[in-house]
Amino acid sequence: MKISFMTWACPDWSLAQILAAAIRYGYDSVEPRVEADHAHGIELATTKKARKAIRQQFTDCGVGISALATSRRYAIAADHELAESIELTRQYLDLAADLGCEHLRVFGGGTPEGMDFADAKKIVAESLRQCAEHAAERKVYLCLETHDSYSLSGDCLETVLMADHPNVAICWDILHPFRQGESIEAAFENVRNHVRHCHVHDATLGEERGSYKMALMGQGDVPHEEAVKLLAGIKYEGALSGEWIKAFDADEVLGHDAEVLREYVAEAG
């Protein structure tokens, strides 16, 4: 099991600064967030020559790329917008492959007004299936996140099963099912056979269902140590990738959460 962090922790840092921090705090890998104007220089517009150089930069530092985190979503009513998102997904799969990255994070998205959730799931599943062969050819997995309308793990699992392709997997964002009232154990049972990537970020839950405030790992209400033990039980080899969107000073959260995550992994055996 590896530890990673998404570049939302440090959106203004250059790639050199990001890699230096990964080494400084003992991270195995980094998850670049694309489509968000981060300063790392990894985007669709990155040239083939630059992609090769970036891949070598990671290799030289001994740091991996755990996933590329995109904004792609598929619960879209307008056919032309959906087609555009699918085409962009294929381009991001190419980018991931060029960088030697095995995982691409995608969203189902919110359910459009007037669309039944069941129909939205079918659209998302079909979109994933349309991209899956392209992903397989590039040895990349499309990872649908437990987020937005797919926060409950059963809805995410159902959609992945409908996509019915070995290169369609799950990104288990441990916070989102939990804040919607789902236990860690229940979520794990749904994702266990399909999880390829995990997002971790502790939070204190609010009185209103689903509301939360970010917290440093171990200082909130989300029992990540339980999730790590369950993942260790299936010999999960993917990353626990920290995602903190403008919540903390980068050095504070990177140092603290790396230490706590390593403790959780060690305790899980």
Domain that holds residue 191: 2-268
Residue (of 208, 212, 170, 207) closest to 192 by Cα position: 170
Q: What share of the chain is helix, strand, coil (3-state, %, to 5)?
A: 45, 15, 35
Q: What is the CATH number of the domain that holds 77?
A: 3.20.20.150
Query: How many Cβ atoms from other residues are within 10 Å of residue 179's Cβ?
Result: 19
Nearest CA among 109, 32, 35, 121 for reference residue 71? 35
d(CA 259, CA 269): 16
Nearest CA-CA partner of 124 in 91, 170, 93, 92: 170
Q: What percent of the chain has pLDDT over 90?
A: 99
Which residue is associated with the tokens 């879209």?
76
User: Could you read off the pLDDT of 38-63 as tens digits, one per residue?
Assistant: 999 999 999 999 999 999 999 999 99
* pLDDT tens string 244-265: 998 999 999 999 999 999 999 9
Mapped onto helix, strand or coil, the DSSP state of residue 174 is coil
Q: How many domains does the chain have?
A: 1
Report which of 209, 185, 190 is spatially closest to residue 146, judged by C-alpha positions.
Answer: 190
pTM higher than 0.85, yes or no?
A: yes
pLDDT score recorded for residue 38: 98
